Structure 1
Amino acid sequence: MKIQKAYSTTDVHVAGEAFRIISGAPFVHYQSLEQLQEQLPHVFGEEINFLLKEPRGFAGLNGCLVVPPISLEADAAVVFFNHEGPVPLQYGGVAAVITALLECGQLQPQTSHEYNIETISGVVAVKAVMEQDEVISVSIKLEPSKVIQRNVPLSLEGSRATYSLVQAGELYAVFNQKDASPRILVEELSGLKRWGQAAIEALRSSTSAKGVILMDDSALKENKLKSITFREDGYIVRSPGFGPGAACLASSIHCSGIGLEEPVVNESIYGGRLELKIVQEIDGSYQCKVTTRGFITGMQTFVLDPTDPLYDGFLLK
């Protein structure tokens, strides 16, 4: 083996969604995170491909590059990216990063449990509670979510369906389980994948939605939701999703008129759970607080061998 470069990473999953936190930022001059983000494809593109693509990564793996903060109010700064390129903000990634920084001793625990993480989208306030050197909960307030349209008709798989357009960080098309044939169960996964691809194709020419969500809110009165989210490329998001969860809750409240004061648990098809609570409602917009926790799954050193025929990696979706 001929080693050209080596990289250290910490892998964390948050409700089933995987994040790879990379140590060692590129040695380039930057005066803002925006400037660093602009340079990443040019000065760190090889590393992103190497560490996120197979055989070292996979299609759903998210990247996090932690750097010293620029803002005086922040405890740390992070730039997010995936296989398509830089991502302005990933709330799940914020939860993953604060978990790794605290549990690995890179950030001193605060008695207030309050921290600030700087991102391209601004400084995100986080509450991370530790017990016996382990982060047991992470709470983040999301930007407000709002239903833009409801009961939008769509011809889907030869039948008529309706969906709601919800702005929750990104624009999502939210379908209700009762209007779709596959149930949100692992044993229905093949049918769900076909349904998701059909929904994405049907919506492609009519909306700029960044994701399709199938939601089961039949147990909403018991403070339970279940959902599955499909990205634009058809890939299934492994967690219930921070933005998708907020979109589901906003859609359910808007359409049913149910007032919710207690937290709601949104569960993914794989059993991952996020707790959501409405903390503020203003003019039809709902601000959610999401509570979850991250789990460190591994600390690894990857080596770059220039003779490796799969040097650039590959993706199977």
Structure 2
Amino acid sequence: MSVVACHAEGEACDVVVGGIPHVRGQTMLHKQIEFMSHHEWRRDQLLNEPRGRCGLNAVFLLPPCSLGAKCGLLFAKNDEYVPVSVSSMIAAAHVIVNGPDAEIDRLKIPTTRFTFDTIAGAVDVDVNLKRESSNGFNIPKCQAVTVHGIPSFVFGLDYELDLYGLGQISIDVAYGGVICAFVDADSVGVSIHDGNGQKMIEIGERIKNALRELHDFVHPVQADLHGVSTVVFTDRVDRDNSGSNTRKKTNMAAVISPGRLDRSPSGTAVFARLAVLYARGDISKETLSCQSIIGTRLYGRIRGKTMVDKYEAILPSVTGRAWIHSLKQVGMNPGDPFPEGFRGADQWGPDEYKRGRTVTYDPHNLELPSGW
């Protein structure tokens, strides 16, 4: 596999640009089913140790199914596939415009727009470009990527959850590409910084497991998308005095599979957080600056409103940056005793967990079209 390795605001992502055989399917969902049936070992080979690690994501660039789309994207996490990954889309967009196969002559300055085909639908992306001189050539350099997200909505506010040792805590649950549960960090006795990472992971996993036992949150249109995937610790939203009066700021820490902190603020969590803040009347047209545990930021805003079945939803957009740091060819030595890699308990958790799959989005039980 040909891979361009990036990070998007700190979150690592391998963008697989070549080496994947033709994946059949009339939709991206069908392609994911085909990929999981015949090529999942490639995901494991890439993300498991020793070639990968538990903090690595992958996005596979495939031919699109939708007319007019630039390419189709399959988002692979270590323990799950997700319909949308904002950090992976930011990384993929950066690779398309500044990677080794970039079609520089087709880029428009200052903004190039294209569409990604995803399981969640078509997603428009704006790439902000600035012309820079390098070795006598004027090259359009990517400055930032804006992902115009899918409709995001709130399942419910102020769910009461009673956890041993923590007492009764209040949880907001919203969808922003994955289903997120939000908890105020102060309410569980932690502050959002890297030094509290292990404590947030422990509490976040307990909250996620408890919510899955008590509530089966199901997307009203995509029934296979169910269950809380991400627990996000939040603090208050303040006015951002460093910019204009139309900007607010907050800190976020997202606990994701297989039990780790997202290095970025998590773009899907920003989508969902905007939906929660809008439902509470805490934000409307302002830009929300979201800071991660390592100080990186994503900027979110609401560009419109819509409905998803019975839910009032927002149309969010998130802006962030990515950096390419290496190019690699990933293959398999015939004598390698770990062709699909391995997972050590020190990083991946106990054996019964690290061998299992997190069933947040599992289309294995879906039927392929007749005559497939």
TM-score, normalising length from structure 1? 0.88
**What residue number does 1:3 align with?**
none
Task: Give 1:115's aligned amino acid.
Answer: F
Task: Give 2:150's aligned amino acid.
Answer: E
**What residue number does 2:369 align with?**
none
The percent identity for this pair of structures is 24
Distance in structure 1 (CA, Å) of the matches to 2:293 and 2:125: 27
Shift of 1:239: 1.6
- Answering whether residue 102 of structure 2 is matched by residue 106 of structure 1, we say yes
- Answering whether residue 211 of structure 2 is matched by residue 203 of structure 1, we say yes
Task: Give 1:251's aligned amino acid.
Answer: V
Gaps of 5+ in 2: 133-139, 216-226, 242-247, 349-372
SS of the residue corresponding to residue 48 of structure 1 reads: helix
Distance in structure 2 (CA, Å) of the matches to 1:139 and 1:129: 8
Q: 1:237 aligns with which of 248, 262, 266?
A: 262
Which of the pair has the greater relative contact order for Cα pairs under 8 Å at 6+ separation?
A: 1
Gaps of 5+ in 1: 1-6
Q: What aligned pairs does 1:2-81 form with structure 2 within 5 A after superposition?
A: 7-22=1-16, 23-27=18-22, 29-81=24-76
Shift of 1:214: 1.0
Q: 1:51 to 1:175 in 2, by over 3 A?
A: same
Distance in structure 2 (CA, Å) of the matches to 1:25 and 1:174: 37
Conserved? CA contact 2:233–2:254, under 8 Å:
yes
Distance in structure 1 (CA, Å) of the matches to 2:28 and 2:201: 36
Q: 1:277 aligns with which of 289, 301, 318?
A: 301
Q: 1:146 aligns with which of 147, 153, 173?
A: 153
Q: What aligned pairs does 1:104-183 form with structure 2 within 5 A after superposition?
A: 104=99, 105-107=101-103, 108-111=106-109, 112-131=111-130, 132=132, 133-156=140-163, 157-183=165-191
Deviations 1:219-257 (A, max 9, x none): 2565111111123643322221112112223323433x3
Q: What aligned pairs does 1:213-228 form with structure 2 within 5 A after superposition?
A: 213-219=232-238, 223-228=248-253
Q: 1:314 aligns with which of 323, 339, 342?
A: 342
Distance in structure 2 (CA, Å) of the matches to 1:209 and 1:45: 23
How many equivalent pairs are there?
Answer: 310
Distance in structure 1 (CA, Å) of the matches to 2:70 and 2:7: 21
Q: What aligned pairs does 1:254-265 form with structure 2 within 5 A after superposition?
A: 254-255=279-280, 257-265=281-289
Distance in structure 2 (CA, Å) of the matches to 1:218 and 1:259: 9
SS of the residue corresponding to residue 331 of structure 2 reads: strand
TM-score, normalising length from structure 2? 0.76
Conserved? CA contact 2:197–2:261, under 8 Å:
no
Distance in structure 2 (CA, Å) of the matches to 1:158 and 1:79: 38
Q: 1:300 aligns with which of 322, 328, 349?
A: 328
Moved more, 204-213 or 217-226: 217-226
SS of the residue corresponding to residue 72 of structure 2 reads: strand
SS of the residue corresponding to residue 330 of structure 2 reads: strand
Distance in structure 1 (CA, Å) of the matches to 2:84 and 2:306: 23
Shift of 1:152: 1.5
